[in-house]
Amino acid sequence: MPKGQDRETECHGRERDRVKPPGHCIGMGHSEWEPTNPYIIASTNKMIPAIQHLLSSAARETRPTELECDALIDAFEERLREFDRHALAAVRDVTGDQANPRLRRRPPTWSFDRMEIPVLSLPYDLADVFTETFLGGNQLAVFAETNAPLNSDLMQAIALEMNLSETVFLLPAQHPAVDARVRLYSTMTEIDFAGHPLLGTAAILACQRADDEVALRIETNVGIVPVTVRRHGGERFTGWMDQPLPQVETVPREQAARLLDVLGLKTSVLPITRYDAGIPHVYVVADDPETVRGIVPNFPALGEAAVSSRINVLALTGPNTAVTRMFSPYGRVPEDPACGSAAGPLAAHLVRHGHLASGAQITLSQGEAVGRPSTLLAVAVVESDRPTSIQVGGGVCLVGDGKLRLPERN
């Protein structure tokens, strides 16, 4: 009997000589050796319809005919011989001409770089935003500008893989007055604007400049956002951004009542109002900080009551300080550690109703409930009851970097 063959009993008790592939049974078992040669993959794929036909016959409890079995066996043997030739070639591609043809395990030096499948190499940086302490604030991943073909579906899948509240993708600027263009993704969808991603991105871009203070213009889906970043030594920065001005509308009375009921609150100190500058936020002002800290959110009910808006519950702790929580019951991060897109309209809301002076800075504490203490700074200028200028700032700590390695064909 030739090497590489054994005697096996096939359909209807008929014995056949069968060539075995090197350490891999075409999806019918497990081995550390994995076929990547396109000829191997193509040969395997040619057998799938025949195998599915026999499995379908078994599911119907109908016995395959002897002719069907013979045809499948003959075709299978032909593909296995082809498999063996190309498998040996693939092993030699990795280990050299001295490779033992009977080697049955994957070489320890196997890597994407040496496979025939093209690979996307996607470097990224990690930042903690709205904090001066490492491992606090709101986490962020920023993927560097690349020539790799990144479409919307792939960017969304990567954001889900990172599993952070937002992930940023840097793209080539399309305007000469712009330093960078970004697309922002939560774990569920692309978003037009967000606060902490822009501050974190600006700090990462500032690392490429020699100056301690850098002014940048970052293009988002809602326009160009100016951001200024100052380095404080090491990997610590402070950043301020000019935010887009929000559209303002009062929440209808019935919806406001449902929202209070779900939150377990009797009333809101100020009218419950929606502000939208790319992400819609609803604001509820509680009587005291302990009420805010004591909320146990019912996320499904909050999602129904808020109708696609994020829910912010806050209370003043002093003339220019407040504690706030932001609930986002539509994704995998249902409570945000620090929300920059909410901080600016929050300041405007307080100014509009006389609880903060126009142009005064307010300091917001957020994130304690999720173990990521954060500090956000906001300034709003309001004229004739309409916001005319909003700025949001905070600290940024650059905590690390990494690289995703993805086959171009999944």
Our answer to whether residue 116 is catalytic in this structure is no
Torsion angle defined by CA atoms of residues 260, 261, 262 and 268, in that order, rounded to the nearest 10 degrees: 10
Is residue 11 within 8 Å of residue 66, measured between CB atoms? yes
Strand pairing report for 236-242 and 223-231: antiparallel
**H or E stretch at 225:** strand 223-231
Is residue 269 within 8 Å of residue 353, measured between CB atoms? no
Q: How far apart are CA 356 and CA 380, in angstroms?
A: 9
Q: Strands, DSSP E only, in 64-207? A: 119-129, 138-143, 167-171, 180-185, 190-191
| CA distances for 98 relative to 60, 101, 104, 109, 172, angstroms | 49, 9, 14, 15, 46
Q: Strands, DSSP E only, in 263-408? A: 273-276, 280-285, 310-318, 321-327, 335-336, 361-366, 374-383, 386-407
Q: How far apart are CA 376 and CA 389, in angstroms?
A: 17
Q: Which of 61, 82, 161, 166 is catalytic?
A: 166
Positive or negative: CA dihedral 57, 59, 62, 65: positive
Angle at 43 between CA 42 and CA 48, to 5 degrees: 90
274 strand-pairing partners: 249, 282
Phi, psi of 350 (to 5 degrees): -70, -40
| CA distances for 212 relative to 47, 144, 208, angstroms | 62, 21, 11
240 strand-pairing partners: 228, 393
Find, among 245, 283, 277, the residue nearest to 390 by Cα: 245
Catalytically active residues, by annotation: 166
